[in-house]
Amino acid sequence: MTDGSLIERGGGAVLTGRLHLERVGRDGLLALTALGFGLILLWALFFREASLTLPLVGLVLVALALTLGGWGLLAERQSEAESLRAFQLMADDPAPCFMTDAAGHLILRNLAAETRFGADVRSLHDAFGRFALHPGELLMRLQKRAEAEGAAREDIQGASSVLRLTVHRAGETSYFWRADDLDLPRDGTGIAERPAVVAVGADLEEVPVAIMTFGPDGVMRVANFAARELMWNGEIRAAMFHDLFEGLGRPVSEWLADVTAGRHPGGAEVLRVRGEEERFLQITLRRYVEGGRPGALAILNDATRLKTLEAQFAQSQKMQAIGQLAGGIAHDFNNLLTAISGHCDLLLLRHGREDSDFADLEQIRQNANRAAALVGQLLAFSRKQTLNPEVLDLEDVLADLIHLLNRLMVEKVDLSLGRPGREGNRTLGRIRADKRQIEQVLINLVVNARDAMPQGGDVRIETEPVTLAEDLKRDRATVPAGDYTVIRVIDHGTGIPEHQLRQIFEPFFTTKRIGEGTGLGLSMAYGIMKQSGGFIFVDSTVGAGTTFSLYFPVFDGDDRAVPVIETRRVAAKQGEGVVLLVEDEASVRAFASRALSLRGYTVLEAANAEEALAKLEDKTLHVDLFVTDVVMPGMDGPAWVRRAHLERPGVKVIFMSGYAEDGLAEDQARVPNSVFLPKPFSLNDLTNTVQGLLS
């Protein structure tokens, strides 16, 4: 046996390369032999007068090395003979056949393989390099499948034929390969009729762009280093297109097949990585033909952040749309509640407590008030409720509220108040907000914290002054840099799963059981905080608890900058004067007209602003008060009142609305002697407001 590339030729088989000892390394045997002879030589030169122990040890080592070497050589010869006998079955096969080691180096090949691929081929990579775009990955993929299944097969399409590559596992470290040339079916497709293709370079491995290629059947042919790094942290894998991606709206394999067949021009789509909920890739597919074999070239870009921003934008649009819907429904519903409660008040004027109908009427009135409170929550979420902002010290607010909050606790749940803000002599900054609404937010959060701890625990409210040196960005919101007063409501209850945190502020979404909550508490808190210029965030860990953080910007203006116009509450009595009532809702107009008439006022009715201005064209008509809705078809309330004041500047005004429209406060500020009456209102609310303004 020599070191040449052709070691043995016989029966049509060619043995190439060198078969190495597998059980005993030759380097080890040589070292053992050298050590033995070294000991003998050492004894002969320096220790001849000493005992014979040293040369005996040397002889034993030499004998051991020779024995092991002979045994290893015998095993090598036996293994070589077994391989030759096994390969002899393929020696006369007309198809090219190879036997390789695990690294793909040729051990044996038949004459057909030498004729087909050349005598100088030393590895499968050399043999099939010109047939595959990336032969290394193709051969490794087939070999991995053969290790798992015993055999594997894949077709490599050429210009006029298909090379079918088959591999069988022959031993622990050896494989049999067979290459068959198959005719390519003729479909009559001319060159001029072929769709445009993308030219693909021979080596994509070092391209700094993630690139994969796929066959029409979805089998991945190539994944360059950038693609493997993106998908599998550099690991080499075999994969199918539909096993990698999903989320197109139709089977992704159909899209791939359409592109490779030329039925679809390709393009970019954002797909989800299969098995990863929040990871997205932009896949750009283009058809290509390489060696007469059609396929699809896929360029991959990480689109996770883009998709996240898209989802956040869609969520903000959804919240805005829900808010607009809630505000519109609440506005219309407030008109209905005004009419219901108002006519109920009119009936109660004619039925005393001793009357049999009094209890039924009282039930109607109470339920109308409950409905009004529910509508108020919708308006709070939509940020269209009427606020009465004032400068507040949150420590004073909590001191007043803590007694009520304690009464809301159950037996096993305690409430504590912490003030980290006092550490370091830092005091809480004042805020400007509606005290009643802030109290409602805190009550809702504390009740939710209590309900999250059915086994008991401690609800803690903390206040802290916070200074942001730079903008704080989290949860689709940006908190500008500056000084803030922060309130945190902390519980150690069941926590909120991550997938529910994204919906926690949506109206009618609740984590409580059916019948235990309306799902409007947190949406109302969200709306109030937004309308007050603040921010609300939630942090939660399942099984550990939840923390709601409220950020209020510190108010450093003058207390007197917030004027408050209050109507005097006077005892009900007969009034006098002319009231022009402008209301587009007929039922509300009918109730308000009857209520004011019963109090002795002369009421002129108008269904819209244009009708009201037409009545005022009569210069002989004296009007003491305008009572008008704010939002009406055509001209709105502030607009027609300003026009009327050009001729009648001294007339006082009451604006009515189901919610405070954007810009209403500014419009009202430009109208002198005006007050606001929110809907729904009762008979006494209306008449007392009119009396207070006219007296």
Average pLDDT over every residue of 585-598 = 90
Mean residue pLDDT across the chain: 77
The H or E element spanning position 466 is strand 457-468
Q: Sign of torsion, CA 601 603 609 615?
A: negative
The helix (H) or strand (E) run that includes residue 270 is: strand 267-273
* Bridge partner residues of 370 (DSSP): none
Q: pLDDT-derived band of residue 307, with 50, 70 and 90 as boundaries?
A: confident
Beta-sheet pairing, 245-246 with 267-273: antiparallel
pLDDT at 36 over 80: no
Q: How confident is the model at residue 202 (pLDDT cuts 50, 70, 90)?
A: very low
Lowest mean pLDDT among 137-151, 152-166, 258-272: 152-166
Comparing 275 with 317, the larger pLDDT belongs to 275
Average pLDDT over residues 188-194: 37
When pLDDT is cut at 50, 70 and 90, the band that residue 23 belongs to is very low
Short-list 298, 279, 289, CA closest to 241? 298
In angstroms, rounded to a whole number, what is the distance separating the alpha carbons of residues 102 and 110? 19
Which residues are CB-neighbours of 273 under 8 A, at least 6 positions away?
231, 244, 245, 279, 280, 281
Q: Are 528 and 437 in contact (CB under 8 A)?
A: yes
Give the model's pLDDT for residue 4.
32
How high is the pLDDT of residue 581? 94
CA–CA separation, 604 and 578 (whole Å): 7
The better pLDDT of the pair 601, 204 is held by 601
Beta-strand relationship, 625-629 and 674-678: unpaired
pLDDT band at 191 (very low <50, low <70, confident <90, very high): very low
Q: What is the pLDDT of residue 190?
A: 38
Q: Which residue has the tokens 């009708």?
A: 611
660 close to 380: Cβ distance less than 8 angstroms: no
Indicate the helix (H) or strand (E) that contains 325.
helix 304-349
Measure the CA–CA gap between 254 and 216, rounded to whole angstroms. Answer: 10
Q: What is the mean pLDDT of residues 108-124?
A: 85
Distance CA 496, CA 507 (A): 17
628 vs 582: CA distance, rounded Å: 5
- Give Dmax (Cα) for the chain: 151
One-letter amino acid for residue 643 of the chain:
R
Structural domains in the chain? 6-153 (no CATH), 192-302 (3.30.450.20), 310-372 (1.10.287.130), 390-561 (3.30.565.10), 578-694 (3.40.50.2300)
What distance in Å separates the CA atoms of residue 311 and residue 317, rounded to the nearest whole number? 10
Average the pLDDT over 57-86 and give the result: 68
Q: Is the model more confident about 56 or about 542?
A: 542
Average pLDDT rounded to a whole number, residues 647-662:
79
Q: Residue 321: what pLDDT? A: 67
Closest CA to 489 of 438, 531, 528, 431: 438
DSSP letters for 501-525: HTTTTSTT--SSPTTS--S-HHHHH
**Beta-carbon contacts of residue 235 (< 8 Å; ≥ 6 apart):** 228
Amino acid at 33: T
What average pLDDT does range 332-349 have in this prediction?
Answer: 82
> Which span out of 56-60, 350-354, 625-629 was modeled with the highest average pLDDT?
625-629
The residue-averaged pLDDT of 246-254 equals 86
Local structure of residue 219 (DSSP, 8 states): B
Gap between the Cα atoms of 235 and 228, Å rounded:
6
Q: Is pLDDT at 11 greater than 90 in this prediction?
A: no
Of 197 and 154, the structure prediction assigns the larger pLDDT to 154
Please state which of the ranges 392-396, 420-424, 493-497 shows the lowest mean pLDDT: 420-424
SS3 267: strand
Q: Return the pLDDT at 315.
A: 62
Question: Of 133, 132, 135, 134, which is closest to residue 123 (Cα–Cα)?
Answer: 135
Highest averaged pLDDT of the listed ranges 227-241, 397-411, 538-552: 538-552
* Beta carbons within 10 angstroms of residue 504's beta carbon: 18
Question: In the chain, pLDDT over 90 holds for what percent of residues?
Answer: 16
* Pair of tokens at residue 363: 């039930």
pLDDT at 611: 93
Measured distance CA(16)–CA(272) in Å, rounded: 48
Q: Which residue has the higher pLDDT, 472 or 387?
A: 472
| Among 237, 244, 262, 242, residue whose Cα is nearest residue 252 | 242
How many whole angstroms from its chain centre is CA 222?
A: 31
Here the contacts of 442-447 (C-beta below 8 Å, separation 24 or greater) are 442/398, 442/401, 442/405, 442/487, 442/489, 443/401, 443/404, 443/405, 443/408, 444/521, 444/522, 444/524, 444/525, 445/489, 445/525, 445/548, 446/405, 446/408, 446/415, 446/489, 447/408, 447/521
Q: Bridge partners of 291?
A: none
The Cα–Cα gap between 366 and 372 comes to 10
Cβ atoms within 10 Å of 377's Cβ, excluding its own: 24
Nearest to 179 by CA among 124, 219, 134: 124
